[in-house]
Amino acid sequence: MFRFSFHFLVVVSIALMSYMPSASAGERQLIILNWSDYMDPALIEKFEQRYDAKISEVYYSSDDNRTEMLQENSAEGYDLILASDSDLYLYAKHQWIAEIDYSQIPNIKHISPRWREATEAAGKYAVPYFWGTTGIVYRSDLVKTPITSWQQLFQPAPELQGKVAMVKNAKDIIGMGLKALGYSANSADRDQLKEVESLLLEQKPHVATYDSINLDESSTMLSGDIVAALMYSGDALMLAEHNEHIRYVLPQEGGNIWVDYFTLASKAKNVELAYAFLNFINEPENAAQMARYVYYASPNLAAEALLSPEFLSDPVIYPDQSQLKSSEFYQRPAPRAQRLRNSISANVLR
């Protein structure tokens, strides 16, 4: 979803794939389509040294942007694709990803069955990477009333107007808009979807940006230009490193529970190296180190045993069942509902 974790949009034209970083002579290259800042550079270097290989990442800015990139050339040019749970079925249907031979990933044994089969197609096409929630991040020092509800983001008070950040992701803005109205994030009801369209259009004049905001010292959230934003849980914690007034809340109506998965591109050129990487990142010590870097919950049970009590008890990273009871996984919409959702997002985001 977060998810998360996305900080800078690196615009890459698939038609210009030849301009991507290339490996030196004799050096193998693994090309990964990913969110930016979603892997610990120290672990990348460790993998490169162990396998005498080069990792090159191509970044996308949202789930929708990733799908558009894959559509442009039928997913050619990648070895691994980091995908959200709700897109796995679509990517498999388009034959952009291949079935995974889990016997090539011995460390898969460390991953909880809950996350291996959390969503449609996950059990055949995917290796869980991290899971988290979609909620609201805000500056507690710049609001009069603590934010606890989606309505406070979608119908912002005067102090928030013009200082709200959303994401350019149809599933999130529509899904969480539906939650704000008391409906399921997966609603296919036409009247409910038209109601959320009206809510989004009413909110639009008060939204400063639909692009992801930076999570470093240059962030508009730190300057106060943005006061509240739809955001993924771990991203909020990265921001909180820079300001003690950053708060993340899973709203009272519930949010989205998401899982990010690594998938094997169907046109991968370095399949053996891709499997080596998937096994490498699930070595318990490596998985724990990656979790500490991105501030997300690991599906790797052996890694959790290596994480500190403070990390495991952080309610932003590991919300308890009372916080999750009203939250939902995104489900694949029926074709008619998907067409209406596409129309709504085009109307709002144009």
Residue range 157-193, pLDDT digits in tens? 999 999 999 999 999 999 999 999 999 999 999 999 9
Same domain for 219 and 344, yes or no, is: yes
Residue 33 has pLDDT above 50, yes or no: yes
- The rounded distance, in Å, linking the Cα atoms of 71 and 60 is 13
Given pLDDT bands bounded at 50, 70 and 90, which one contains residue 19?
Answer: very low
Instruction: Tell me how many domains the chain contains.
Output: 2
53, 86 Cβ separation under 8 angstroms: no
Question: Considering the domain boundaries, does residue 297 fall inside one?
Answer: yes
Residues in the chain: 350
pLDDT at res. 119? 85
pLDDT at res. 22? 52
Same domain for 247 and 142, yes or no, is: yes
Question: Considering the domain boundaries, does residue 8 fall inside one?
Answer: no
DSSP 8-state secondary structure symbol assigned to residue 28: E
User: By percentage, how much of the chain surpasses pLDDT 70?
Assistant: 93
Question: Considering the domain boundaries, does residue 345 fall inside one?
Answer: yes
Given pLDDT bands bounded at 50, 70 and 90, which one contains residue 14?
Answer: very low
pLDDT at res. 27? 75
Q: Which residue shows structure tokens 């709700």?
A: 86
**Per mean pLDDT, which range of 40-49, 77-86, 179-188, 213-222 is the poorest?**
213-222
Residue 274 has pLDDT above 70, yes or no: yes
Q: What is the mean pLDDT of residues 214-243?
A: 95
Question: Considering the domain boundaries, does residue 203 fall inside one?
Answer: yes
Q: Maximum CA pair distance of the chain?
A: 60
Q: What is the mean pLDDT of residues 212-239?
A: 94
- The rounded distance, in Å, linking the Cα atoms of 193 and 92 is 27
Question: Considering the domain boundaries, does residue 4 fall inside one?
Answer: no
Question: Considering the domain boundaries, does residue 189 fall inside one?
Answer: yes
Same domain for 289 and 333, yes or no, is: no
pLDDT at res. 23? 52
Mean pLDDT of the chain, nearest integer: 92
Same domain for 167 and 211, yes or no, is: yes
Same domain for 142 and 226, yes or no, is: yes
Its domain, for residue 311, covers 14-131+258-319
Question: Considering the domain boundaries, does residue 1 fall inside one?
Answer: no
Given pLDDT bands bounded at 50, 70 and 90, which one contains residue 131?
Answer: very high
Question: Considering the domain boundaries, does residue 45 fall inside one?
Answer: yes
